[in-house]
């Protein structure tokens, strides 16, 4: 299926102030890897990201790479023992992933503006939305292997953390003296982990899309590549920080302890696993479900509004 057909069916006016959901965006961005039917995609592939040269040099320096890898493993083990939680191992992964995303997406539009070729691109018959999607997908193509690794890590976290935590809710509900029928408990044992796994995946994918759109929005409004790189990095890490702050504030309002002073291990879980796991661990089932739905809905509104602003900024002279 052509990406243009997908865009056209999802929203008829790609050039205007259309509704672009995170689900539509993730389908369009990943659809280029199989179809690759957009010439803007091929144009963007010709521009290596800022980190490509450093990565190539590091790949050729095998001895240095092994030494750095061994030292990194040693330091990470010491850090786990010092902090007392294996979740700390996810922090450098998330920081590096966020930095790679911002450095990859940041220059996409700003480089064209700096080279005075953006006006020529938006003057072509292709809709502006398709141009932005093509450039973003072409930039993300450089991260395709990293994205596969991150997808595997996400699935592991879902199986190791989200699944057992969901089953714990069933056990708590069972021992609460409510005398629930056995058939209901069996259905809850099957459906609750599946539902929480889907919510966890949706939350992390939506956060990824929001980070990409935020970096693209900065790139669309920046006048130089340098300012786009700095702005995209700040925007990506700000979204991560806002995620944690919102979770802490929400739990301070509705949580059992009602305190903004969250323990260090709790903050670490919020920062690495996102709001879905935080609500799952702390809140009862009804409040957890409502807050997960509210979080996904609010973030979806932000993604849609930020995409509209990106289209306007990209179309501005």
Secondary structure of 135-191 in HEC code, one letter for each residue: HHHHHHHCCHHHHHHHHHHHHHHHHHHHHHHHHHHHHHHHCCCCCCCHHHHHHHHHH
Q: Is residue 234 situated within a structural domain?
A: yes
Task: Give the number of residues written for the chain.
Answer: 317
Q: Is residue 58 situated within a structural domain?
A: no
Degrees to nearest 5, angle at CA 42 with 41 and 48: 95
Q: Is residue 199 situated within a structural domain?
A: yes
Residue 221 CA to residue 227 CA, distance in Å, equals: 10
pLDDT in tens, 135-192: 999 899 888 889 999 999 999 988 888 877 777 665 555 444 556 566 666 666 677 7
Cα–Cα distance list, 108 to 133, 220, 313 (Å): 11, 8, 13
Q: Is residue 268 situated within a structural domain?
A: yes
Q: Hey, is 28 helix, strand or coil?
A: helix
pLDDT at position 19: 66
pLDDT in tens, 106-129: 999 999 998 888 988 888 888 888
Q: Is residue 270 situated within a structural domain?
A: yes
pLDDT at position 311: 92
Q: Is residue 108 situated within a structural domain?
A: yes
Cα–Cα distance list, 154 to 90, 197, 296 (Å): 11, 10, 18
Residue 217 CA to residue 109 CA, distance in Å, equals: 9
pLDDT in tens, 50-108: 887 777 777 777 777 777 777 878 787 877 778 777 888 888 899 999 999 999 999 99
Q: How many domains does the chain have?
A: 1
Specify whether the backbone of 116 is left (phi greater than 0), alpha (psi in -120 to 50) or beta. left
User: What is the domain range of residue 186?
Assistant: 89-118+145-315
Q: Is residue 54 situated within a structural domain?
A: no
8-state DSSP, 283: S
Q: Hey, is 61 helix, strand or coil?
A: coil
Residue 7's pLDDT band (boundaries 50, 70, 90)? very low
State both tokens at 269.
Answer: 């879980």
Residue 96: count of CB within 10 angstroms of its CB: 11
HSE at residue 166, side-chain half, CA atoms within 13 A, is 24
């Amino acid at each position: 299926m052509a990406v243009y057909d997908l865009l056209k069916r999802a929203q008829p006016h790609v050039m205007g102030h259309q509704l672009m959901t995170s689900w539509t965006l993730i389908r369009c961005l990943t659809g280029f890897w199989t179809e690759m039917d957009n010439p803007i995609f091929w144009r963007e592939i010709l521009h290596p990201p800022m980190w490509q040269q450093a990565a190539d040099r590091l790949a050729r320096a095998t001895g240095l790479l092994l030494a750095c890898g061994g030292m990194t493993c040693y330091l990470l083990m010491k850090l786990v023992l010092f902090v007392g939680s294996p979740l700390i191992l996810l922090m450098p992964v998330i920081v590096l992933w966020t930095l790679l995303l911002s450095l990859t997406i940041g220059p996409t539009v700003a480089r064209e503006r700096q080279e005075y070729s953006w006006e020529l691109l938006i003057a072509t018959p292709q809709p502006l939305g398709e141009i932005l999607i093509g450039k973003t997908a072409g930039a993300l193509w450089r991260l395709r292997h990293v994205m596969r690794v991150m997808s595997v890590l996400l699935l592991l976290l879902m199986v190791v953390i989200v699944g057992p935590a969901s089953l714990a809710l069933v056990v708590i509900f069972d021992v609460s003296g409510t005398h629930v029928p056995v058939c209901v408990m069996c259905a809850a044992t099957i459906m609750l982990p599946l539902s929480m796994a889907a919510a966890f995946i949706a939350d992390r994918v939506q956060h990824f899309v929001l980070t990409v759109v935020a970096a693209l929005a900065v790139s669309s409004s920046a006048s130089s590549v340098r300012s786009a790189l700095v702005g995209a990095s700040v925007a990506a890490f700000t979204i991560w920080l806002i995620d944690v702050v919102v979770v802490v504030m929400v739990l301070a309002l509705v949580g059992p302890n009602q305190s903004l002073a969250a323990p260090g291990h709790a903050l670490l879980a919020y920062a690495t696993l996102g709001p879905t796991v935080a609500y799952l661990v702390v809140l009862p089932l009804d409040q957890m479900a409502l807050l997960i739905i509210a979080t996904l809905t609010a973030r979806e509104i932000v993604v849609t509004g930020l995409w509209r602003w990106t289209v306007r900024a990209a179309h501005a002279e």
